[in-house]
Amino acid sequence: MSGYNVTDTNLPINSNNTCKDIHECLDSVSVCGLNSYCYNYNGSFSCFCWEGYNVSDVNKDISKSNPCIDINECLFSPSVCGPNANCTNEIGSYNCSCLYGFTATNSSLSISINNICKDVDECVEISDVCGPNSICNNTVGSYNCSCMSGYNVTDPNLPINNNNPCKDIHECLDSESVCGPNSHCYNYNGSFSCFCWGGYNVSDGNKAISKGNPCTDIDECLLSP
């Protein structure tokens, strides 16, 4: 029968010289080809591809001439790694890594379509990421920093962070352009205040002192007791 050979080829087949199973899998590579398992059983055998491999021509049996080849899992759609991830094909396998600004939902598990990469909220996860006197705004895959009102970044050519923090704007360095004439300018962190000199009052008492609403002389002679 197919898959069997006589025990002693020099003697006739009978009950004392029976047909025995041919163990085709003794040299599995020559039978099934590379990247495969060979399973022997009475009268025949079967070939199976290793995990991460598939037969070259799926319409034919696995063999040395139709071997198992690497599956490029990274070509699958939807992606085996899920969204916001890089897929790197490896021989017999693949590797997933999150894009910059993303992290695995469960860091103790491998990245996959069931454990996708989620956005990192840098404004929460990274302590004082923008430095003092700043506002952190999280975006998908990133974040941006801006200075609070009354502050400017130390070096405008560099991103805002702890090494290039937002510093107070000293509005009073040119007092007259801020508060107008006949006034004092008082600078403090994040803002400033204007005060009229003695003997002067703001033109429009309903508005803040400024160059457009300056301090003017009080005509004390018009004051009545």
73-119: CATH architecture: Ribbon (2.10)
Give yes or no for a cis peptide into 78 (omega within 30° of 0). yes
pLDDT tens sequence across 102-150: 999 999 999 999 999 999 999 999 989 999 999 999 999 999 999 999 9
pTM across the whole model: 0.62
pLDDT at residue number 221: 76
For the chain, what percent of residues have pLDDT higher than 70? Answer: 91
Could you give the C-alpha distances from 182 to 47, 177, 222, in angstroms and in order? 97, 11, 20
In DSSP terms, 166 is beta-bridged to 153
pLDDT-derived band of residue 36, with 50, 70 and 90 as boundaries?
A: very high
Where, residue-wise, is CATH 2.10.25.10 in the chain? 171-222
CATH level 3 topology of 171-222: Laminin (2.10.25)
* 125-168: CATH number: 2.10.25
At residue 24, does pLDDT exceed 70? yes
**DSSP at 109:** S
Spatial separation of the C-alpha atoms in residues 188 and 81, rounded to whole Å: 52
pLDDT (mean) for 52-78: 93
**DSSP at 148:** P
Spatial separation of the C-alpha atoms in residues 19 and 41, rounded to whole Å: 14
**Amino acid residing at 203:** S
Q: What are phi and psi of 176, to 5 degrees?
A: -70, -35
pLDDT tens sequence across 138-195: 999 999 999 999 999 999 999 999 999 999 999 898 767 889 999 999 999 999 999 9
Strand-strand pairing, 53-55 and 215-217: unpaired
Spatial separation of the C-alpha atoms in residues 38 and 32, rounded to whole Å: 7
**DSSP at 45:** E
State the residue for tokens 């130390």.
Answer: 154
